C-alpha cells in the first residue's frame, strides 16, 4: 500500500525567535516537495510565531497534558497548543517516558486528549540497549505500542514513531535488517488491534536519521518517514532528508 511519507523535525529544547528563519526555510522546502508531508514539532514558545512563517510545513508540539484544564502548573493542554497554531503533537517520546516517568497509560490518555482537541498525533515507542542486546526488542516494543495505543486509533490522525532509544543523538543506528524487522513487527501489532486500518498507518523511524542514511532507511518497506532530531534544526541539514523521502 502506498503511504505518503511523513518527515517531522523534533527540535526538543532548542530554538529561539532568532531561528524562525530556519522554520521559514523548511516551510519552503515543504513547498518544493509536495509529495512529502513535512512538519516541525517546536518548543511551545515558538508555536505561535512559527505559525506565521511555516509555509507548506505544519507546526506541531512536543507533548500535551491529558487533562483539558486544571491545577497542573507548567503543563499545556492540547486545546492550548491548538489555539497557538499546532496541528500535531508528539506523545510518549522516550525522553519524557524516561525523564518524566510517563507510563503507557499516560501516553494513551494524552493521545486521546490531543485527538479530542483536533490535533493529529505521533506516538513514540522504542527500546533501550539492554532490551536490544537481550534479543527480544521486537516483542517488547510491540507490547509497548499496544499498551500505549489509544481507543479509536486510525491512520487519518495517528502515526507511530519507532525510536531505538540507544540510537537517538548518538549517530548509531540498528542494521537495516533490524529496522525493517521492527517496523514489520509494529505493523503486525497494529493489525492485531485495528485490522486493515494498520495498512494505512504511517510508521516513522526516529533514531539518528540524517542526510547520509535517510535514503536507505526510507527505502525500507514499512518505513513511512522519519522523526528527526538534530538534523532538523537547520534547513540545510534537513533538506537531504526531505529529498530522500520524495
Average pLDDT over residues 23-31: 98
11 has a pLDDT exceeding 90: yes
Please identify which residue in the block is written with the cell numbers 493521545.
Answer: 111
Q: How many CB atoms within 10 Å of residue 15?
A: 18
pLDDT tens per residue across span 36-64: 999 999 999 999 999 999 999 999 999 99
Give the pLDDT of residue 167.
87
* Residue pair 212/233 in contact by the 8 Å Cβ criterion: no
User: Annotated binding residues for substrate, as ranges?
Assistant: 10-12, 169, 208, 229-230
pLDDT tens per residue across span 186-245: 999 999 999 999 999 999 999 889 999 999 999 999 999 999 999 999 999 999 999 999
Contacts of 147 (CB under 8 A, 6+ apart): 104, 105, 108
* Residue pair 35/70 in contact by the 8 Å Cβ criterion: no
Of 150, 76, 78, 79, nearest to 111 (Cα)? 150
Per DSSP, the residues of 8-48 read EEE--S---GGGHHHHHHHHHHHHH-TTSEEEEE--HHHHH
pLDDT tens per residue across span 133-172: 999 999 999 999 999 999 999 999 999 999 999 888 777 7
Please identify which residue in the block is written with the cell numbers 517516558.
Answer: 97
Average pLDDT over residues 78-98: 98
Query: What's the mean pLDDT when you consider all of the chain?
Result: 96
Where does the pLDDT of residue 173 fall: very low under 50, low under 70, confident under 90, or very high at 90 and above?
Answer: confident
Contacts of 78 (CB under 8 A, 6+ apart): 64, 65, 68, 89, 110, 113, 114, 116, 117, 119
177 has a pLDDT exceeding 80: yes
Domains and CATH numbers, the chain: 6-245 (3.20.20.70)
Average pLDDT over residues 55-76: 98
Contacts of 127 (CB under 8 A, 6+ apart): 137, 140, 141, 164, 165, 166
Q: What is the largest CA-CA distance in the chain?
A: 47
Give the pLDDT of residue 90.
98
In angstroms, the CA 164 to CA 142 distance is 13
pLDDT tens per residue across span 110-138: 999 999 999 999 999 999 999 999 999 99
Give me the active site residues, please.
93, 163
User: Annotated binding residues, as ranges?
Assistant: 10-12, 169, 208, 229-230
Give the pLDDT of residue 1.
65
Amino acid at each position: 500500500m502506498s503511504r505518503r511519507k511523513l518527515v517531522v523535525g523534533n527540535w526538543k529544547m532548542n530554538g529561539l525567535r532568532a531561528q524562525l528563519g530556519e522554520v521559514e526555510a523548511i516551510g519552503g522546502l515543504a513547498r518544493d516537495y509536495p509529495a512529502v508531508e513535512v512538519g516541525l514539532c517546536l518548543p511551545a514558545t515558538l508555536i505561535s510565531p512559527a505559525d506565521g512563517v511555516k509555509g507548506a510545513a505544519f507546526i506541531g508540539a512536543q507533548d500535551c497534558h491529558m487533562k483539558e484544564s486544571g491545577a497542573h502548573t507548567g503543563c499545556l493542554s492540547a486545546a492550548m497548543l491548538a489555539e497557538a497554531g499546532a496541528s500535531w503533537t508528539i506523545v510518549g517520546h522516550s525522553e519524557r517516558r524516561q525523564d518524566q516517568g510517563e507510563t503507557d497509560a499516560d501516553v494513551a490518555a494524552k493521545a486521546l486528549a490531543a485527538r479530542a482537541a483536533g490535533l493529529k498525533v505521533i506516538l513514540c515507542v522504542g527500546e533501550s540497549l539492554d532490551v536490544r542486546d537481550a534479543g527480544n526488542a521486537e516483542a517488547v516494543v510491540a507490547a509497548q505500542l499496544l499498551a500505549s495505543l489509544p481507543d479509536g486509533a486510525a491512520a487519518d490522525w495517528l502515526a507511530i514513531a519507532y525510536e531505538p532509544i540507544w540510537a537517538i543523538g548518538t549517530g548509531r543506528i540498528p542494521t537495516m535488517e533490524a529496522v525493517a524487522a521492527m517496523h514489520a513487527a509494529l505493523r503486525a501489532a497494529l493489525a492485531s488491534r485495528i485490522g486493515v486500518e494498520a495498512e494505512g498507518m504511517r510508521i516513522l523511524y526516529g533514531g539518528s536519521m540524517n542526510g547520509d542514511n535517510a535514503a536507505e532507511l526510507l527505502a525500507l518497506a514499512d518505513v513511512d518517514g522519519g522523526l528527526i532530531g538534530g538534523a532538523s534544526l537547520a534547513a540545510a541539514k534537513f533538506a537531504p532528508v526531505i529529498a530522500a523521502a520524495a
